[in-house]
Amino acid sequence: MSGVYIKGMEMPKSCSECFMNFCNGRKTVVHFAVERSKDCPLVPVPPHYDLIDHNALKIAVMDCDVETRIDFLKHAMDCINKAPVVIPSDMPLFEAEEGET
């Protein structure tokens, strides 16, 4: 499955508010629908930090040769920090306050 993410666009409340003239969900031209179709192909994206490719992350984490559990955890954290970003964050990153760790 693939799709399109339009940054800053809100989910339409009804088909008549939608930017698409032809809806694959309804298989028809939509002009005056009062609500979104149950078959609407649009999917809401909630507020989020970076959305990453979890499959690439799994591969990177498993590709290691470490001797201790702590080395594995350090490697895993490094992989998470370097994971390929699919959709960038729309929220500021959490920064620890001074003295918190």
Candidates 66, 51, 56; CA nearest to 3 is: 51
Cα–Cα distance measured from residue 93 to residue 88, given in angstroms and rounded to the nearest whole number: 11
CB half-sphere exposure, 21, CA atoms < 13 A: 0
In a domain, residue 13? The reply is yes
In a domain, residue 101? The reply is no
In a domain, residue 98? The reply is no
Residue 33 has a pLDDT of: 67
What is the average per-residue pLDDT within 10-22? 79
Contact 52, 43 (CB under 8 A): no
43 or 98: whose pLDDT is higher?
43
Residue 73 has a pLDDT of: 92
- Structural domain boundaries enclosing 11: 1-45
The yes-or-no verdict on residue 7 having pLDDT over 60 is: yes
Please give the tally of structural domains in the chain: 2
For residue range 33-86, what is the model confidence (pLDDT) as tens digits? Answer: 677 777 788 888 888 888 999 999 999 998 888 889 999 999 999 999 999 998
Residues 60 and 30 in one domain: no
Residues 2 and 34 in one domain: yes
Residue 75 has a pLDDT of: 92
